[in-house]
Chain A
Amino acid sequence: MAGLNIEDVLFYAFGAGTVLSAVLVVFFANPIYSALFLALAMSMLGALFFVLEAYFISVAQITVYAGAVMVLFVMVLMLFDLKNEGEDILKVSPLGLIKLLAVGLLCGFFIGTGWVASKIPGKVISETSMASDQQTAINKDVQPVDIGSTVSLSRQLFSKYVFAFEAVSILLLVAIVGSVALARSKGGTHHVSR
């Protein structure tokens, strides 16, 4: 198993790109740059989904997130006049240091857990070992499916998860009505005469 294959190279390239864009989202003072780098991070995550053989999810990620949601963000930013938004992100304060420390600790826990898990002998979770675990699983109603195909995804969506699917449609209706009602209200949530 010497040498990296193409999936490993793609993982490291897109993974590094995603992390870099995510850091830039947080540390750019101007929100419009944050939005653009968030779109970049979403697109690279879409590429990672492609590497993971989730083709439908990958395309949905790029159209829904990098397309629709980001257009929504940029439109709202255009509505605001945020030129005087001189936010001092890198200002050193005791509270800021505590926040940074806490997040660093959380990140360290994630990395440490992954590192420890990769060290446990005989428990290496690979594609083949987990798949063979599933063959012998007691839960026999889980059929081995082709995870790359949209057919098997939609079959699950419209049989096992059909109630959740319908519930999501109701949620979307509520969100549409709620956002229109919120955005139309005069002077925000307060009754002020202008």
Chain B
Amino acid sequence: MSLDNLHVGINHYLVLSGILFSIGVLGVLIRKNAIVILMSIELMLNAVNLDFVAFAKFSQNIDGQVMVFFVMTIAAAEAAVGLAIAIAVYKRFQEVNISRFENLKG
């Protein structure tokens, strides 16, 4: 493997973002704690943000950064609502295990 391959291009950023996304998926799949699942979702959103910023840099087009701005705003709103639901579940069951969420109904 030559040193030229280690020179960072867009592929490196895409692979890093893919690895981060996979770790986020793993967290959503194997964890039972709802808070940690929300954290893993944040991790996945951040992986996508890294993609957007990398494309913005390597194509010299700022639209990717605008998208990151929107993704951040929506992720913050999603975290607030998700944590409010977690608080509601904790009040009812005294734990935030994801299996309790199947009891959510009107």
Contact = CB atoms under 8 A, between A and B. Distances in A.
B61 A11 contact: no
A19 B11 CA distance: 16
Contact of A26 (B27, B95, B105): B27
Interface of A: 1-4, 7-8, 11-12, 15, 18-19, 22-23, 25-26, 31, 34-35, 38, 41-42, 45, 48-49, 52-54, 56-57, 60-61, 64-65, 68-69, 72-73, 76-77, 79-80, 82, 85, 87, 89, 96, 99-100, 102-104, 106-107, 109-111, 113-115, 117-118, 124-127, 130-131, 133-134, 142, 144-145, 147, 152-153, 156-157, 160-161, 164, 168, 171-172, 174-176, 178-180, 182-183, 185-190, 192
Interface string B64-106: 0110111011111111110111111111110110000001111
Given A54-B65, A103-B29, 19 more contacts: A11-B12, A11-B16, A18-B16, A25-B36, A26-B31, A45-B49, A69-B75, A72-B83, A73-B39, A79-B90, A114-B15, A124-B9, A130-B58, A130-B60, A172-B77, A179-B83, A185-B88, A189-B92, A189-B106
A64 to B, nearest CB: 6
A126 B54 CA distance: 11
Contacts of B39: 25, 31, 34-35, 38, 73
14 contacts: A12-B8, A26-B31, A42-B42, A77-B35, A82-B33, A85-B33, A109-B18, A113-B14, A113-B18, A118-B5, A126-B9, A161-B66, A175-B77, A190-B92
Q: Main secondary structure on chain B at its contact with chain A?
A: helix
Contact of A7 (B8, B43, B76): B8
Contacts of B16: 11, 15, 18-19
A4 B6 contact: yes
Contact of A153 (B4, B66, B73, B95): B66
A147 B60 contact: yes
Contacts of B81: 175, 178-179, 182
A189 B29 CA distance: 25
A118 B61 CA distance: 22
B58 A126 contact: yes
A84 to B, nearest CB: 8
Given A52-B54, A182-B84, A168 B73 contact: yes
A87 B50 contact: no
A118 B77 contact: no
Contacts of B10: 125-126, 130
Nearest to A188: B92
Contacts of A89: 30-31
Nearest to B15: A114
B38 A73 contact: yes
A184 B9 CA distance: 49
